[in-house]
Each structure stands twice: as structure tokens, then as C-alpha cells.
Amino acid sequence: MSFTLATWNINSVRLREPIVCKLLAEEGPDVLCLQECKSPVDKIPLEAFAALGYTHMVAEGQKGYNGVAILSKLPLEPAGAQDFAQLGHARHVAARLPNGVTVHNFYVPAGGDVADREVNEKFGQKMDYLSQMRDFFHADAPQKSILVGDLNIAPREDDVWDHKKLLKVVSHTPIEVEALAQTQDAGKWVDITRQDIPEGLLYSWWSYRAKDWDGADKGRRLDHVWATPDISTAAHSSRVLRDARGWEKPSDHAPVFATFDL
């Protein structure tokens, strides 16, 4: 059975309902994981999504901030939600699919502008969040699982437009990259996107500050798809839908897709 999953930081699911519907209608992934929904669960426009075949949803909501949702054509069984770093934020939700795969949808804190927890509380929260993710997967090794979301870190040199210039910029600092690597190692997660696209510059986010985002192309790969080793070999194609960054009233993120034969 071929199964396609997409992850997208939508930056307000209600404001960008039209482009979510566009993606569902034109691309038709079996599962779409959204981050930064900025909506209580009962305000997510599920009727519009259900009309396109996405009749199942598991979500954690929050008014005006954060929020994660898993939309699916397939039945979903809720599989928990963790409040890492005890922030009281809706940043994680998990669901189990009929094929037994558990999908974890994450929105890791961005971390503010200064990579120093002594002067920037938000950076400390980000580091604490990652360390608790690491400990969670150490304590309970995931199996037959996929982890997706806006992890707010571009780990590789070719995941950013200029490695040297961004070494001190939050999202690409060595301390963040190491923390993400420890989290990945804890669950033995495989980076599916880079398994399928091993070489070359690859981005999923372009700042709103750049009017000519496409021409300037100063991007970062902040959005990820990981899988446990027992299903990582079933992955066979990945892509970033870059065009979505140019849709009307876009998110600053583009959707990332992965297809598995399970």
C-alpha cells in the first residue's frame, strides 16, 4: 500500500484555509500534518477539509498561538500529546493509522533571536524542549513511527543558504544542531527527506522579509520528516512543494511530502 504524508507550518489554519484546501484538492496526501494552526480545535475549519475527503482529525489547539493538527482520509486513533518543557503550549499531537503507523506531529519552539539562554528565555525553552523530546524517545523507543513537523532547526550545511553566515543565527547554531542530533539518535530516527534527496541545497522556509523570496532564495530547511528504522526502508520519494510558498496569502513555509510503501 502506497501512503503519502505531508507536513506544513500553515501559520494560521483559518486565515489560510483556502490554500490548505488547494493543497488537499491538488496534491491529495493521505495525511496532512499542520503546525502553528493558531486556533482552538473547535474553530479549525474541518467541514471544508471533510468535503475534500479529510474526514478525520486529531489536534491540539490554542487560541492565537501554536497548535498542531493531523488531517487524514484514513481513520485516526488518538495516541497522546506531550507538553515538553512544561510550557503549556499546543506543540505536539500523535495519532495512529489503520496500518499501525504512529504519526508524531511537532512544532518545536523557534527560540527567539539570540542563541543564549542567559539573556533569551525563549532560547532556553527551545533547548529544554529538545532535551525532553530526547529523553522521551530514550525512555520509550518508538517503533513503526513517523515524526514530522516544524522542528525550527536546519541541521546540515546544505539546509541553509549560507552555512558560515548563519552559524550564529538561531535555527542553525551548533548547539541547536547537536541537540536535534541527540533527539534524532534517541529514537534512532532516519531523516527521510535527506534519505531520498541526499545531496544539494534544500529549503522549506523563506522569510516574509524578502519580497523577492524566490529570486533571493535565502531559505532554510526547518520542516522535517523522520521515520523509525523498521519503516524507513519503505520510503521511496520525498519533495518540497516550493510553489506553495508563492500561493496567494502564503505561509512562509512550504509543505514537505514523503511517500512510503507499507
Binding residues: 9, 36, 150, 152, 252-253
Is 208 an annotated catalytic residue?
no
Taking the alpha carbons at both ends of the chain, their separation in whole angstroms is 5
- Catalytic residue from among 56, 89, 172, 253: 253
Is 89 an annotated catalytic residue?
no
Give the side-chain half-sphere CA count within 13 A for 189. Answer: 27
- Catalytic residue from among 107, 159, 191, 203: 107
Q: Alpha-carbon torsion 5, 110, 241, 44, what sign?
A: positive
**Phi then psi dihedrals of residue 227, to 5 deg:** -145, 155
Task: Work out the burial of residue 60: count CB atoms within 10 Å of its CB; fewer than 13 is exposed, 13-18 middle, 19 or more buried.
Answer: buried
Please state, in angstroms and rounded to a whole number, the distance separating the CA atoms of residues 217 and 133.
31
**Residue of 137, 117, 256, 153 lying closest to 196 (CA atoms):** 256
- Catalytic residue from among 30, 150, 191, 223: 150
**Phi then psi dihedrals of residue 20, to 5 deg:** -65, -45
Is 107 an annotated catalytic residue?
yes
Chain centre to alpha carbon of residue 53 = 22
Query: Which residue positions form the known binding site for Mg(2+)?
Result: 9, 36, 150, 152, 252-253
Catalytic site residues?
A: 107, 150, 253
